[in-house]
Chain A
Amino acid sequence: MLSRRRFMAGLGASLVAAPFCQLLSPGQARAEGGRARRLLIFFSPNGTIHRFWRPEGEGRGFTIPEGSILAPLIPWRDRLLVLDGLDFWTGDNHEGGMAAMLTNGGGGSTETRGMSLDQYVASRLGAQDRFPSVELGILTDIWGGGTQTRMAYAGPGQLVHPDADPRRAFERLFASLTGDEASQARLRARRQSVLDLIRDEVGDLHRRVGRAEQLKLEAHLEALRGVEQSLFSDVSCPIPTAPEQLNKDDNANVPQLTRDQIDLAVLALACGMTRVASVQLSHTVSPVVFSWVGNTEGHHSLSHTDDNNAHNLEHFVNAERWCASMFAYLLERLDATPEADGDGTLLDNTVVLWAKELGDSRAHVCDSVPFVLAGRAGGAFSPGRYLKLGGRSHAHLLVSVCEALGLTNQTFGDPSTGSGGLSELA
C-alpha cells in the first residue's frame, strides 16, 4: 500500500530560482560505508575514434591532452575513472551495441531479467520513490521507438521511452497540487477513484484475452501503479523555474535542450524524486548536425570518417568534444548541489556514468567501448585514474555499478560473460 502522506507545505508556491536547493528527501537514507545513493547515466551516440579519445599515461598518472575529445573534462580529472578496454560480448554494431550497452543481453531468465542497468537499479531501489526512475532524451522522438533509438529496457524487448520535451518533463516532475487542504484532499480522492476504476477495467479485459495481450495489460497495470506512486508520495522541494518551451524536434535547439534535460535530471535527484535518472543525447545512427560547433555533416556520417579525411575527422572530434563538455556541465551541476546532511555534494554520492554504444565507430564494433565514471560513489570508487582493462566484458562494469549502489547481483545480463565487478574501481 502506498503512503498518502500530506504533501509538504509550500509546494503550491512557485519559488523561483532555487534549482539546487539543499532539500533532500529525508526518505533517502544516508549512504553508509562507501555506498552511492543514486545513479545518473549520460549517453551520447556513434562510438568514438580512440586516438582522439584516449588520455595519456595510465593509472593515477594520466593526463587528458588539450584538443582531445575528453579535454573539457580536464578540470574534473581527479573525479574521473576513465575506462578503456571494456568490450560488449553480447552485441556488435549500431543496433546490437545500443541494446547491449545497458543490458548485456541474456534475456529474461538472467539474474537481471533482461532489464537495462537503470531499470534494474530502479526496480531494486526505487519502489518507494515518487518516480522509480526518470528518463530524459534529446531528439529522441523523431524516429519513434526502436532498437536504434532506445537504450532502456524494462525487460526483453520492452523499450522504455524517454521524454524528449524538457517542459513536459518538468511539468510531470513538478505536477503540483494547488489550492487549500480540502480541495487537495478532494483531488486526491478523485484521482484515486479514477485509477481504481481503470484498474478494474484493465483487470476485466485481462481475464478475456490470451497470454500476449495479458502481458500488455499487466504492463498497463504496472504503469498505473507508477502513476499512483508519483501522485501520492511526498515531494520535498520548492518548485524551481520551468524551462522555456522549445521545439523539441529542432536540431538547432540541441544545446539548450541538453542543458535543460541535465538540469532536470539533477533536480530530480536533488529533490529526492528519484534515485535513478538518465539523459540520452539522441541515439545511435544519429543524424544530428552539430552545427553549433561548425559542422555541416550529420554525426553518423562523420563518425564513419576514415583516417585520410582530416576535415571530417576534425568535425567529428569537435562534436565529441562538445558532448564531453555537456558531461562536464552535468558534473558541475551535481557538484554545485550540496547534500542536505552536509556530507559533500551530489557528485560525491552518485554513480555518474557516461556510456556509448560503439567502440571504433568506423568499424561498427563494440570493442573497447569508451566509458567514463565520475564521482566517488559515496566512497565505493576511487577516482582520478585511467584504467586499461584489456578486453574484459563490460558486464563487470554493470555489476560494479550495482555493487556501488548496495545491490548484490553477481552477474548482469548474459551470465556467460562473467560474474563479479571490476575490483579496480575501488
Chain B
Amino acid sequence: MRERVIGQVWAAALVILALGGCGADEEAGPGAGEGSGANSGSGANSGAPGACLSHEDFFQERAWPLLASRCSGCHTAGGLAGGTRMTFVGSDQPGWQARNLAAVQAVVDAAEGGTPLLLLKPSGEHPAGHGGGTIFAPGTAHYDLLAQLAGRLSGELDACGRGEDGEPASGVCGELKPGARVLRRLTHAEYAQTLQDLLLIEEDVSGALTPGEVVEGYDNPVSLGVSTLLADQYRDLAERLGRDVALAPLLPCAPSGDGASCARRFIAAFGLKAFRRPLTEEDVERYLAIYALAAEEGFEAGVRWVITAMLQSPHLLYRAELGRREGDAFRLTAWEIASELSYLFWGTMPDEALREAAASGRLYEPAEIEAQAQRLLADPRSERVLRRFASQWLGIDRLPHVTRDAALYPALTPAIRQAMAEETTRLLSELWRGEGTLAELLTSDHTWLSPELAAYYGLPAGEGPAEPGGWRRVALAGTPYGGLLTQGSVMTTHALPTSSSPIHRGRFVRERLLCQPLPPPPSNLDTAPPPVDPTLTTRERYARHASEAACKGCHDLIDPIGFALEHYDGDGRWRADDGGLPIDARGAILNSASSDGDFEGASGLSAHLAASDDVAACYTEQWVRFGFGVSETLPLDCYVDALGGGAASPTLSGPAVGLIQTAHFLRRLGGAGELDAPGAEILPLPGEAPDPDPDPDPDPDPDPDPDPDPDPDPDGDAAFELVEQSRWQTGYCADGHVTNRGATPWTWTVTLDVEGTLVNVWNAQASATQGRVTFVGEHYNAEIAPEQTASFGFCASLP
C-alpha cells in the first residue's frame, strides 16, 4: 500500500485547486442549483377548513364533528346541560341535522355584548361561567372554527368564509400560516443528550433537573422557561461538569503563551456545537473574558469556566427559532433548520454533517432538508425520539410508576414493566422503518418479545436468532394478542391498582387515539367508582354509568370503548374470565366525529380504529404537537389538514417527515419591532451558497504541467480539489476532494495552510503543526481505490 501526501498552500477566497494536472472533482456537490422554495406552505389548501361550502355543509362537515364529540356529552335531553338552549339529538332521530343546526342557531342569535353564547360559554368567558368548564379557549383552532360557524350563521360571512371586505375570517386556513417566532427551551432529555454529545460523556444528567410543564401529554411545549430552581440546577450541573469533564478530547489545540489564542479557538469550536451556530465576535469576546478571569489559575481552569458558562447560556438552553426578516415574516436560518431537524429526529444537537450543510447554506434547499431528515431517521439515534414520542403519546411514560397491588399481580415486576415498554418501542420502530402504517400498528399480527416477557404473556418466545437480550419477532396469529392495544404497556398503564379500568382505557382511546378530550367529571355528582364485588364483573359494576342520566352523557363516550378491552387485566395480560365470571367484550364508539360503530373485543376495536379517519387525523395531530411543541399560535387543525389529515391511514413516519416541509418548519411570523436571530448577520443568505460545481465539464484543462511547487505527488496519480462552500464575515467552510487517478489503491494525507482558525472537521482527522494543518482520512475513507474520490471538510473562523 502506498501513501499519497498532498501539500497545498491555500490562502483565501473561493478557489478550486487541482493538483498534479488532474481534473476537477467529478462529484457535483449536493444542493446545487435551484433557488430555495420560499413558499413551502403552498399546496396546503386542499381540504383546509374554509373552502367554499354552504352553511349547512359547513355545519355538517366541519362543525358538527367537533360539537358531537365535545358538547353532546352534556348537551342532550337528560344530559347535564339538557335544560339549556343548546340541546342536541342523536343521529338516530328524524331530522337530526336540521334540529341540531337550529339548536346552534339559537345560541348564535343569543348574543351578549356582541358575542354569541356559542363562543362565550365554552370559552369560559361568560360572566356566569360554563357548567362544563373551558372547552375551547380563544386563540385555539377549535375556537376559531366555532367563530367561523357563528359568523356564517349570523350572516357576517359568506359561503367561502369571507366577510364584506372579502377577507377570510380568522380561523380559516387559507395559505398555511406559520406560528410565532419562539425560543424553545430544551427538554431535560434533550439537554442531557446534548451534553453527552457535546462533552463526550456517558452520564445522563436529566435526573438532576426538576420536571417542567407537561401539556397535552407532551413535555416539550413552547412555553417552557427557566425558573429559579431550574437555573440553580443548571448552575450546579454546569459547575460540576465543567470541573470534572475530560478536557483533552475537547481541545482543538495546545496552548502556548498565555493560551488566549487556543482559548479563542476552543470557544469558537465548542461554541459552534453548543449554540448550534457560528459565534459572533461579540460572543467570542464575552467568553474570552470568562476565560481570562479564570485563567489566573491556568489555561485549563480558564477553559473549564468557559464550559461552565456555556452550559448555562440561553444560546444552549433555548433552541432559537427566530430567523431573519424576509418581507413580513422571518425565514429560519440554515443553522436553525439544522437544529430543528436534529432535535426533531435525534433529540440532540446537530452532528457534523448537519453543521456542514448549515454552514454551506445547502440546508435552505428543501431537497437537502428532506435528504438530511432521511439520513437522521435511518440512524439508530432516531430510536430515542421514537421512544419518547410513543411513551408520551400513549401515556406509557408512567408505566414504571403506576401502582399495582403486589398481592394481586405479583409477576408484574419492574423488569417486566420495562420489557413491556421495550416491546412497544420495538414494534413501532420496526413498522416505522418498513414504511408501515398506523393501521398496521393497531392490528399488527406479530410483536417483539424477550423470553421473560413471552413467558409472562404465556406466548412462545419465537424462533431463530435473537437480538441482544433475547428479543425476537413473534407471530401472534391464533393468540388473543395482536395490535398496539393488546400490549402490556398500554393495558397496564391504563388500569387501576387492583383491577382493569374501562374508564381509563376508554378515556385513553378517546383522548389519545381519537383526539377528543373529555370534560372533567362535573361537580356535585357522586363519582365513586363501584366497589369490587366478587359477584359482579367489572363491566357490571359500571352499569350505573349507563343507567343514570347524569352519568350517561359523558360515560357513553368512555365506558363502551373500554369494555371491549375487558379481556386484559390490570397487569396487562389476557384473561379468559373476570374472577370466574364470563366477560362480555362487546363495545361501541358513540358520538365521535366519524368513527361511530359497534365491535367486539380488542381485535374488533382495533380493526375499527384502524379504519377510522379520526384516528388517522389524530395521529397526525399528535406529531404536530410533539414535533412543533404545543403552542397557542400554531393553527393546529390547518396543519393536520395540510399533512394529509385523516385521509387514509398514514404511514407511521409520514406525519413526522411531513412536518419538515411545512411553512412553520421554515418560516415564522413576527411583529414589526422584532429583530433577527442572534448571529444571523454572519450567516450565509439563502441562495448565497456558492455553486460547488460551476463547471460540469468532465474534461477539464488537460494541462499536464506537474510542477507548481515541490510536488509531493511525483507519480501524478493523485488529484486534489479544495472547494469553498461558504464564507461570511468571520469564517468560512470548505470541502476537500482527493481522487485516485492511478491504478492501485493508496491512503492519503493532505497538508494545507489553512486560513484562520480551524473550527471543525468532518470525514478526516486534522492535526496542526507549524501553522499548517494535516488531514488524514477516517477509517472508512483513508484508503482510496483507483478512480475513487475521498472527501472531507472543515470550517474555520477568521479574526
Contact = CB atoms under 8 A, between A and B. Distances in A.
Contact of A296 (B226, B400, B498): B498
B290 to A, nearest CB: 6
Nearest to B275: A201
B674 A209 contact: yes
Interface in A303-343: 304-306, 308-309, 311-312
Interface of A: 92-96, 135, 141-146, 154, 159-165, 168, 171-172, 175, 186, 189-191, 193-194, 197-198, 200-202, 204-205, 207-213, 216-217, 219-220, 222-224, 226-227, 230, 249, 251, 287-289, 291, 296-298, 301, 304-306, 308-309, 311-312, 362-365
Nearest to A201: B314
Contacts of B84: none
B297 interface: yes
Given A144-B211, A160-B227, A205-B314, 19 more contacts: A141-B210, A145-B214, A172-B232, A193-B293, A201-B314, A208-B674, A208-B676, A209-B670, A210-B181, A213-B181, A216-B225, A219-B226, A223-B227, A227-B232, A251-B401, A291-B403, A297-B497, A301-B497, A365-B524
A163 B407 CA distance: 32
Contacts of B229: 135, 161, 163, 172
B523 A93 contact: yes
A177 B208 CA distance: 20
B312 interface: yes
A143 B400 CA distance: 12
A154 B35 CA distance: 48
B531 A298 contact: no
B313 interface: yes
Interface in B304-328: 305, 308-309, 312-315, 318, 320, 322
Contacts, number: 196
B294 interface: yes
A208 B678 contact: yes
A306 B528 CA distance: 6
B412 to A, nearest CB: 14
A297 B496 contact: yes
B239 to A, nearest CB: 8
B226 A220 contact: yes
Given A94-B520, A210-B181, A289-B497, A223 B228 contact: yes
A199 to B, nearest CB: 10
A217 B525 CA distance: 43
B138 interface: no
Contact of A223 (B231, B322, B398, B497): B231
Contacts of B675: 207-208
Interface in B398-432: 398, 400-403, 405, 407-408
A224 B403 contact: no
Contacts of B305: 190, 194
B110 to A, nearest CB: 25
B576 interface: no
A220 B215 CA distance: 20
Given A144-B219, A161-B229, A213-B183, A190 B293 contact: yes
B202 interface: no
B211 A364 contact: no
A175 B233 CA distance: 11
A210 B670 contact: yes
A249 B401 contact: yes
B470 interface: no
A198 B314 contact: yes
Contacts of B228: 222-223, 226-227, 230
Given A216-B183, A220-B226, A197 B286 contact: yes
20 contacts: A161-B211, A165-B210, A168-B233, A194-B312, A197-B289, A198-B309, A202-B314, A205-B320, A208-B674, A210-B674, A217-B314, A219-B226, A223-B226, A223-B227, A226-B231, A289-B403, A298-B403, A301-B496, A308-B531, A363-B525
A263 B403 CA distance: 27
B529 A364 contact: no
Contacts of B405: 289, 296-297
Interface of B: 133, 180-183, 208, 210-215, 219, 223, 225-233, 235-236, 286-287, 289-290, 293-294, 296-297, 305, 308-309, 312-315, 318, 320, 322, 398, 400-403, 405, 407-408, 496-498, 520-529, 531, 670-671, 674-678
A371 B677 CA distance: 50
A205 to B, nearest CB: 6
Top-7 shortest CB links A-B: A144-B214, A226-B228, A306-B528, A208-B675, A223-B231, A296-B405, A145-B213
B196 to A, nearest CB: 20
Contacts of B286: 197, 200-201
A211 B670 CA distance: 10
A168 B678 contact: no
Nearest to B675: A208
Contacts of B523: 92-93, 363-365
A194 B308 contact: yes
Nearest to A301: B529
B132 to A, nearest CB: 11
Nearest to B522: A364
A363 B213 CA distance: 28
Contacts of B309: 194, 197-198
Contacts of B290: 190, 193-194, 197
A278 to B, nearest CB: 13
A404 to B, nearest CB: 26
Given A208-B676, A296-B497, A301-B497, A224 B231 contact: yes
A93 B520 contact: yes
B236 A172 contact: yes
B578 to A, nearest CB: 18
Contacts of B231: 220, 223-224, 226-227
Nearest to B408: A296
A329 B677 CA distance: 53
A163 B236 CA distance: 14
A163 B210 CA distance: 6
B312 A198 contact: yes
B527 to A, nearest CB: 5
Contact of A209 (B287, B322, B521): B322
A175 B236 contact: yes
Nearest to B398: A142
A210 B524 contact: no
Given A144-B219, A189-B293, A209-B674, A161 B212 contact: yes
B403 A362 contact: no
A306 B526 contact: yes
B697 to A, nearest CB: 45
A360 to B, nearest CB: 9
